[in-house]
Chain A
Amino acid sequence: MSGEPLVRWDWLFAHLGPIADRVGQHIYLAGLAVGIGFAISFVLAAISIRRRRLFPAISVLATGVYTIPSFAVFPVLVVVTGLSTLSVEIPLVLYTLVLFVPNIVAGFDAVPADVLEAADGLGYTSSQRWWQVELPLAVPLVVAGLRLATVSTIGLVTVSAILGDSFGGLGYYILDGYHRTFTTEILVGGLLSIALAALADFGCVLLQRLLTPWAAARNVAR
């Protein structure tokens, strides 16, 4: 061990192909969870907005799920759904809800009442109002939720490595490196996960800029 350098570059260069595959798997597992989580959250948020009394219940449920340790929930699900992508995705999707739902609800709540009144008074139909006024104005907070959920999910994907070699994305290297006391592998898995999360976050910021040019204009001096 003592003679071992911190990073074994030869190992790194010999494994570029598998590392790229793991990055791909990581993005796939995280992307799928965020996508499905977003869709479910949007429905839950829509219900919460229409029926305000359900919002506390939905919130408590989403928060409750989030308190279950991921390290425990992955193996438990294997008993139910077997060693499948489903066992990875179910917890990942559930974890996104607590980040998405409150943000989406807050996004629609943040649409100013006078703007909605003007939209009604000027003759928007309710679907036109939703698509052309409410949704665009909810975007900043919805994207804020997307950033949180994406970064958190990219982190959690690594934990799914405990389900075996065919899962975990870059988490595979962290776990394998740990078992073999091989620092290079741990660093590759850890640093690339962080880089992936940072890139995704940056991507969300770009998306936000693109979707809400008006929000940036606010800070421009008159």
Chain B
Amino acid sequence: MTAPAQAGTRAASLEFRDVTKRYSAGPGTPGAVNDLSFEVPAGSICVLVGPSGCGKTTSLKMVNRLIEPSSGQILLDGVDVQTEDVTALRRRIGYVIQQVGLFPHLTIGRNVAVVPSLVGWSNQRQRARTDELLSMVGLDPDRYGDRYPSQLSGGERQRVGVARALAADPLLMLMDEPFAAVDPIVRARLQDEFLRLQRELAKTIVFVTHDIDEAIKMGDLIVVMTEGGRLAQFGPPDEILAHPASPFVAQFVGQDRGLKRLSLRTVADLGVEPLAQPGDLPVLPPATTLRDALSILLAADTRGGLAVDEAGRPRGLVTVDAIASALAADLAGAALT
């Protein structure tokens, strides 16, 4: 779960300890948070998910102190964020929001360099870092560096938002529904790219979404929150899908939680049966999720498909039964432990 930390990148562990935020009732007040505790190891993505008004954004904003808790502690590498200078704290934490919030009057390059500039990096170092980050998020620095945000598409702007948050090599990234404002196709691409980026960067990330599918896809750990800002369940996605802690969680993750669990596994995770005659069975590359594999087999009206390796060489037979029992074996295993 914890990705190996790389040289040159930094990541902090995060702990919520009995964090409570009360609001006097009124229209438009953010969601309250009630006695929230969880721990995120350095280098993991922790997704806060729940219905609107459940306090997930409030929780996120208490980490960089845009909102101050009523009681409890938030610890970054064991240090209470309340004890730190708020400006210095925020400059060490990356922040990405749904509406991106790029500075319309600054070029893309200067937007990315905002925090390095605030903390006093030399122009040369800012420039080098900006080019590196823009390339990293898939935007050619020579083409995009001197443009203004208004000249970019929504997806491009969101990439710049991610680059800006990463600029000063933060200890932690806070991402508040970062991909919610773009269309589903762009969203899926941004999610994939971000996960690929995260495999290299291994940052600690707190990610807020209201979309359980996004939570399952992005999270190493998921905090399911319920109305009133209470913790409903905390754990890895597979555990939450396999063993919802309450009827609320079961309902929130949905009736198709079995299928969602299949989407967490790929054909590569599955044992294959020897196959004498490949015939014209559907071909299943190793990266295919079991959910997709099942769908492919059902659509082709066959009980089995041909698992192949990266190079396309046949590995053996994958059957609908094998896919079904993959979950059953896990359930039995979980029940034993």
Contacts and interface: CB of A to CB of B under 8 A. Distances in A.
Contact of A123 (B88, B98, B106): B88
Interface residues of B, number: 32
6 contacts: A121-B64, A122-B164, A124-B87, A137-B105, A212-B105, A217-B147
A123 B104 contact: no
A217 to B, nearest CB: 4
B150 A214 contact: yes
B163 interface: no
Nearest to A116: B101
Nearest to A121: B95
A16 interface: no
A118 B100 contact: yes
Contact of A115 (B101, B150, B174): B101
Interface string B55-95: 00000000010100000000000000000000111110101
Given A133-B103, A214-B105, A214-B106, A121 B148 contact: no
A4 B235 CA distance: 98
A117 interface: yes
A124 B118 contact: yes
A114 B104 CA distance: 11
B101 A112 contact: yes
B284 interface: no
Interface in A15-55: none
Interface string A108-138: 0000101111111111110010000100110
B118 A123 contact: yes
B302 interface: no
Contacts of A137: 103-105
B263 to A, nearest CB: 32
Nearest to B118: A123
Contact of A125 (B87, B99, B148): B87
Given A115-B101, A214-B105, A120 B90 contact: yes
Given A121-B174, A122-B115, A214-B148, A115 B104 contact: yes
A136 to B, nearest CB: 5
**Which 8 residue pairs across A and B have the least CB separation, nearest first?**
A118-B101, A121-B95, A123-B90, A114-B99, A123-B91, A114-B101, A217-B148, A218-B150
Given A118-B100, A123-B88, A217-B150, 10 more contacts: A112-B99, A114-B97, A117-B97, A118-B97, A121-B64, A123-B118, A137-B104, A214-B104, A214-B106, A217-B147
Contacts of B98: 114
A121 B103 contact: no
Contacts of B100: 114, 118
Given A114-B99, A136-B105, A137-B105, A121 B66 contact: yes
B142 to A, nearest CB: 16
Interface of A: 112, 114-125, 128, 133, 136-137, 212, 214, 217-218, 220, 222
Interface of B: 64, 66, 87-91, 93, 95, 97-107, 114-115, 118, 147-148, 150-153, 164-165, 174
A118 to B, nearest CB: 3
A121 B170 CA distance: 13
Nearest to B101: A118
Given A133-B103, A214-B105, A121 B151 contact: no
Nearest to B107: A214
A123 B87 CA distance: 5
Contacts of A116: 101
Contacts of B97: 114, 117-118, 121
A55 B25 CA distance: 27
Nearest to B95: A121
Nearest to A139: B105
Contact of B66 (A120, A124, A128, A214): A120
A25 B85 CA distance: 54
Contacts of B89: 123
Contacts of B104: 112, 115, 137, 214
Contacts of B102: 115, 118
B95 A122 contact: yes
Contacts of A218: 148, 150-151
B302 to A, nearest CB: 47
A120 B174 CA distance: 13
A120 B100 CA distance: 13
B102 to A, nearest CB: 7
Nearest to B99: A114
A118 B105 contact: no
A198 to B, nearest CB: 28
A218 B174 CA distance: 29
Contacts of A222: 151-153
A115 B151 contact: no
Contacts of A123: 87-91, 115, 118
Nearest to A137: B105
B3 to A, nearest CB: 25
Contacts of A117: 66, 97, 101
